[in-house]
Chains A and B, each alone.
Chain A
C-alpha cells in the first residue's frame, strides 16, 4: 500500500528530523539495488562453493576439536560433518535465491542468519570481508531488493521502478564506512613511517611476474603504504563526486586487482568492487545494455514501497542507530588506549584490513597445588590455522586457558593454575611477551574492560627490512657428494 507523502501533518513536516525523514523516503530508481542483489547473490554463492571446494568446511569447522567462541555465543556449535556440508550447499542455494529474487525475503533472511551462524562457529575464522558480507546480507534482507528483476516481482506482478532514497544512502554509508575506517586504521606510524607490514609482504613477492621487480625497489613499500592509506581514506568521498566518479571507480578496480593478486584475500576484492557500484547514479544498470529499460523520466511523487507514514520515523531512526553503531564500533579501541594491533581489544569489526603481520608462540604452564607443573601445547587442541590465529590474539589465549583449566581440573580432580608463556612478534619486531606470564589466567574473566593481563606493546620501531634480490646469475651449486 502506498501512502501519499502529503498526508504528513504540517507540524511534523516542519521539524528538521521529519524533513530529513521525508528526504529519505523520496523515491529514487531501484535499478541499482536490483543489480546489487543479483551480483551479491552470485558472489555469495561462489563464496559458499569455495568453502566446499577448498575443503574449508572440514578444515575450519569439522577438524578442530576445540572452537573459539564469541562472548555470549558459546552455545553455537558446528553441525555434524555431513549436515555441515549440506548446510553449505543450502547456503549456496539460498544465495542463488537472492540473486534470482525467488522467495527473496525468506532466502535473504535465512542466508543472513546462516552466514552469521558460520561466523559464530569459530572466532579464528573471522575475516573483515565475511563481516561485511553478513552486514550487506542483513541490509538486503530488509530491503525491497526483490521488487525489480526478480522471480518474485515477475510472479506477483509487483515490479516497481523506485524505492526510497534512504536505501541508497544506507548502502553507500556501509561501503564508505569500510573504506574510511580501513584507511584510518593505516594512520599509524608502523604503516606510514615504516611501511610495515607491506615492506615484509612485498619483499616476499619479488618473484611475481610483472609486479615482482617493482617490489624489489626500496621505495615501493613506502609508496604503496601511502597509496593504500590515501586510497582507503578518500575513495568513498571521491566516488560521491559525479565528475570524477568513473576515474575513482577505475582506481577501485586497479586497487583491488592489485591487492587481490598480491594477497590471499579471497572474495574481498570482488565484494568491494561490487560494493563500490552503489556510488554510481541509482539508474546506472539501466543505462547499460543489455538490461536497458525505460528510465522513468518523472518518478512518482509518492514512496513506492508502501512505507506507512507513522512507521517512517521509526524506520529512519533504526537506520540512524545502525549507522551510529557502525561508526562507534570501529572507534571503541580508543577506550582501551595502547596499540590495538598488539592488545587487539577493539580489533574485530573495525575494518583493520591487512594492517599487521603478527606471529606468536604460546605454551601454557599448568600447575597444581602440590607444585607439579606441565607444559600444554595449544597444538593439543588446535589446528595449525587456529593456533596461528590464537597465538596473536590475547582474548583467544585466555579462552583456551579456561578450556585447559576446566579439562585439567576435571582430570586431576583439583583446581589448577594456568599461565601462558605467550610471545609475539608484531610487524617483525623482536619477540616480546604478549600476556603477563605471572598472571593465573584460570582466575581471569574475559570482558569488555581493559585487560590488565595483556602486556604493553613494544615501543621500538619495526625492523627496516627490504626485499632481497630476485634475479640470479646462472651458476651451478656444487653437489656436496661431489666434493667428498
Chain B
C-alpha cells in the first residue's frame, strides 16, 4: 500500500485503535480447563503409569489420544489422573510461570534421581551375581531410568544446559550424551578396566563412554563381539579375545560403575535445583528480581523455550530424520539407517520419543494432574494468542498420535514401514514449525542473549 495513502487512512483508525477494550484487570486469568482444577503435580513413580489426556489443555483442542508417560508404554487404559482438589487455576504471571516450571523441574529431576538409585541397586546386584535374572532386573531398572531421563531431556536449561548458556554446567551430557556415544571406547575400557579407576574413568573426555548410553550398550549388548574395528588395538593384539570369558562380569562391573556415576550427576542436578538449599533454584525463580543468572524474567523464559526446541533438533532431526536417511549425512546412503536409532540395543526408541513428548506437554501445558498448572499455553492465552496455543496443542496431539500409531516400533519401522515413521517426522515438524515461528514471535522469545548482537 502506498505509504502516504496509508497515513491518511490510518489517521482515522487511531481513534479506533486507542479505544479498543483492554484486558479487564492487571491479572489475566487463563481460560479455566475442564479437567485442570488443581495445582498439584503428581509425578508417577516407575512402574506406576499414569495417563495424560492430551486434549485437556487451555487451547481446547478437544479430545485427543491418551498419551502414556510410563516406561514401556503400557498405559493403564482409561485411568486418568483426575485431580481431587478444586482449587482454581492460578492467575498467569511470568513469575508464577517460572515458579511452576521450577517445581516441575525439581519433580522431574527428583524422580530421575530415584530411578538412578534403583539402577545403581540393580547393577550392584548384577555385579554381585551376573546371571540372567539379575541382568533382566538391571535392564528393567535401565528402562525406567531411561524413560525418566527422556522426560528430563526437555528440561535442558540451567545447570543441565551447556556451559555457554546462562547457569549452564553441562550436567546433561554427563548423564546422557546422545547423539554422541562411543561404544568402542566402552569396549576398550572393558579391556583395560579403567572403570575401576575413578581418576581415569571420570575424566571429562570419558563422557562418551559413560552415562545412560554406555549403560544401554553394557546391559543390552550381550554378544561377545565389540564395536571396534579389527584394526583397533584390542582386536589386533588379541586383548578382547582374552577377556571374552569374563565379559559378563566385566560388563556388570562397568555398568555398576557407570550407574553410580549417573546417580552422582543426578544428585548434583537435584542439589542445585533443591528449593531449600540449591543455589540455582533461587536464581531461576528470582529471574528479573535480583537473580545473578537471569537479569530479567524474559531471559529465563527464553532458556526454557529454547529447551522446548529439543523436539526440533533432537527428536525430529536426530531421532527420526537420521534413521530414516532423510538428512544430508545420508546422501551417499539414501536407504534408512537402522543402526542410527536412539536405543538400538534396548529397542526403546519409540518410548524415548513418547517420553520426550510427555515432557514437552508438561512444560508447555502444565505439570500437574492432567497437565493442570501454569505452562506456556497460559502465557499465550494471557497475551491474547490462544490461537497459537491451540495450534501447538493440536500439533502436539498429532505428534503423540503418530507415535502411538508406530507399530512396529521405531527400530523395525525404519525398514518395515518407513512411511509410518515418516508420518511421525511430518507430525513433529508441524509442531516445531509453529514453535519456531508464531510461538517465539508472539511471546518475543529470543536466542540466548550471549549469542545475539545488536539489532537495527
Cβ distance A343 to chain B, nearest Cβ, rounded Å: 14
Residues in B neighbouring A400, C-beta threshold 8 A:
none
Residues in B neighbouring A129, C-beta threshold 8 A:
454, 456
Q: Which one of B41, B297, B328 lies within 8 Å of A479 (CB-CB)?
A: B41
Question: In the complex, how many residue pairs between chain A and chain B have their CB atoms under 8 Å apart?
Answer: 247
Residues in A neighbouring B447, C-beta threshold 8 A:
384-385, 388
Instruction: Determine, out of A14-22, A77-85, A260-268, the stretch whose residues face the partner at the interface.
Output: A260-268
Task: Tell me the nearest residue of chain B to A358, going by C-beta.
Answer: B441
Pairwise interchain contact A483-B334, C-beta atoms closer than 8 A? no
Residues in B neighbouring A383, C-beta threshold 8 A:
451
Q: Could you list 6 further interchain pairs (A-B, Cβ under 8 angstroms) beyond the known A266-B453, A380-B328, A473-B27?
A: A218-B20, A266-B454, A360-B436, A375-B327, A425-B437, A477-B99
Identify the interface centre among B43, B99, B110, B438: most chain A CB within 10 Å of its CB.
B438
- Whether B347 sits at the interface, judged by CB under 8 Å, is no
Cβ distance B80 to chain A, nearest Cβ, rounded Å: 16
What 0/1 readout, one digit per residue, does chain A (174-214) give for beta carbons within 8 Å of chain B? 00000000001101110011110000110111011000000
Instruction: Determine, out of A2-10, A35-43, A459-467, the stretch whose residues face the partner at the interface.
Output: A459-467
- Whether B203 sits at the interface, judged by CB under 8 Å, is no
- Pull 5 A–B residue pairs with CB atoms less than 8 Å apart, ordered by A: A127-B454, A127-B456, A189-B10, A265-B455, A470-B95
Q: How far is the CA of A374 from the CA of B331 in the complex (A)?
A: 7
Residues in B neighbouring A268, C-beta threshold 8 A:
454, 456
- Whether B14 sits at the interface, judged by CB under 8 Å, is yes
Residues in B neighbouring A483, C-beta threshold 8 A:
40-42
- Whether B330 sits at the interface, judged by CB under 8 Å, is yes
Pairwise interchain contact B296-A359, C-beta atoms closer than 8 A? no
Residues in A neighbouring B330, C-beta threshold 8 A:
374
Cβ distance A357 to chain B, nearest Cβ, rounded Å: 5
Pairwise interchain contact B437-A361, C-beta atoms closer than 8 A? yes
- Whether A134 sits at the interface, judged by CB under 8 Å, is no
Cβ distance B95 to chain A, nearest Cβ, rounded Å: 4
Task: Tell me the nearest residue of chain B to A333, going by C-beta.
Answer: B3
- Whether B383 sits at the interface, judged by CB under 8 Å, is yes
- Whether B103 sits at the interface, judged by CB under 8 Å, is yes
Chain B contact-residue range equals: 35 or more
Contacts A469-B28, A475-B90 known; A377 to B385 CB distance under 8 Å? Answer: no
Pairwise interchain contact B3-A484, C-beta atoms closer than 8 A? no
Q: How far is the CA of A187 from the CA of B3 in the complex (A)?
A: 5
Residues in A neighbouring B438, C-beta threshold 8 A:
359, 425, 428-431
Contacts A423-B433, A466-B23 known; A192 to B18 CB distance under 8 Å? Answer: no
Residues in B neighbouring A428, C-beta threshold 8 A:
385, 388, 438, 441-442
Q: How far is the CA of A366 from the CA of B13 in the complex (A)?
A: 46
Q: Which residues in window 258-279 of A have CB below 8 A to B?
A: 263-268
Residues in B neighbouring A194, C-beta threshold 8 A:
17
Q: Which one of B297, B321, B437, B444 lies within 8 Å of A201 (CB-CB)?
A: B444
Pairwise interchain contact A205-B453, C-beta atoms closer than 8 A? no
- Whether B100 sits at the interface, judged by CB under 8 Å, is yes
Task: Tell me the nearest residue of chain A to B454, going by C-beta.
Answer: A266
Q: Which one of A128, A359, A475 lies within 8 Å of B440 (CB-CB)?
A: A359
Cβ distance B29 to chain A, nearest Cβ, rounded Å: 9
Cβ distance B94 to chain A, nearest Cβ, rounded Å: 6
Q: Which residues in window 415-454 of B have CB below 8 A to A?
A: 429, 432-434, 436-438, 440-445, 447, 449, 451-454
- Whether A453 sits at the interface, judged by CB under 8 Å, is no
- Whether B184 sits at the interface, judged by CB under 8 Å, is no
Cβ distance B388 to chain A, nearest Cβ, rounded Å: 8
Residues in B neighbouring A425, C-beta threshold 8 A:
437-438, 441
Residues in A neighbouring B110, C-beta threshold 8 A:
480-481
Cβ distance B414 to chain A, nearest Cβ, rounded Å: 15
Q: Which residues in window 68-121 of B have CB below 8 A to A?
A: 90-96, 99-100, 102-104, 106-107, 110-111
Residues in B neighbouring A59, C-beta threshold 8 A:
451, 453
Instruction: Determine, out of A101-109, A219-227, A288-296, the stretch whose residues face the partner at the interface.
Output: A219-227
What 0/1 readout, one digit per residue, does chain A (371-387) give for beta carbons within 8 Å of chain B? 01111110110011100
Pairwise interchain contact B6-A189, C-beta atoms closer than 8 A? yes
Residues in B neighbouring A431, C-beta threshold 8 A:
433-434, 437-438
Residues in B neighbouring A377, C-beta threshold 8 A:
317, 327
Task: Tell me the nearest residue of chain A to B287, going by C-beta.
Answer: A207
- Whether B292 sits at the interface, judged by CB under 8 Å, is no
Q: How far is the CA of A204 from the CA of B433 in the complex (A)?
A: 22
Task: Tell me the nearest residue of chain A to B306, going by C-beta.
Answer: A384
Q: Which one of B40, B321, B383 lies within 8 Å of A465 (CB-CB)?
A: B383
Task: Tell me the nearest residue of chain B to A194, going by C-beta.
Answer: B17
Contacts A380-B328, A477-B96 known; A359 to B14 CB distance under 8 Å? Answer: no
Q: Which one of A358, A412, A468 lies within 8 Å of B94 (CB-CB)?
A: A468
Closest 4 CB pairs of A and B: A218-B22, A266-B454, A480-B107, A480-B41
- Whether A411 sits at the interface, judged by CB under 8 Å, is yes
- Whether B32 sits at the interface, judged by CB under 8 Å, is no
Q: Which residues in window 273-321 of B have CB below 8 A to A?
A: 275, 288, 296-298, 313, 317, 321
- Whether B4 sits at the interface, judged by CB under 8 Å, is yes
Pairwise interchain contact A480-B106, C-beta atoms closer than 8 A? yes
- Whether B128 sits at the interface, judged by CB under 8 Å, is no
- Whether B332 sits at the interface, judged by CB under 8 Å, is yes
Cβ distance B92 to chain A, nearest Cβ, rounded Å: 6
Q: Which one of B6, B41, B442 lies within 8 Å of A200 (CB-CB)?
A: B442
- Whether A427 sits at the interface, judged by CB under 8 Å, is yes
Pairwise interchain contact A463-B384, C-beta atoms closer than 8 A? yes
Residues in B neighbouring A334, C-beta threshold 8 A:
2
Pairwise interchain contact A265-B456, C-beta atoms closer than 8 A? yes
Pairwise interchain contact A470-B93, C-beta atoms closer than 8 A? yes
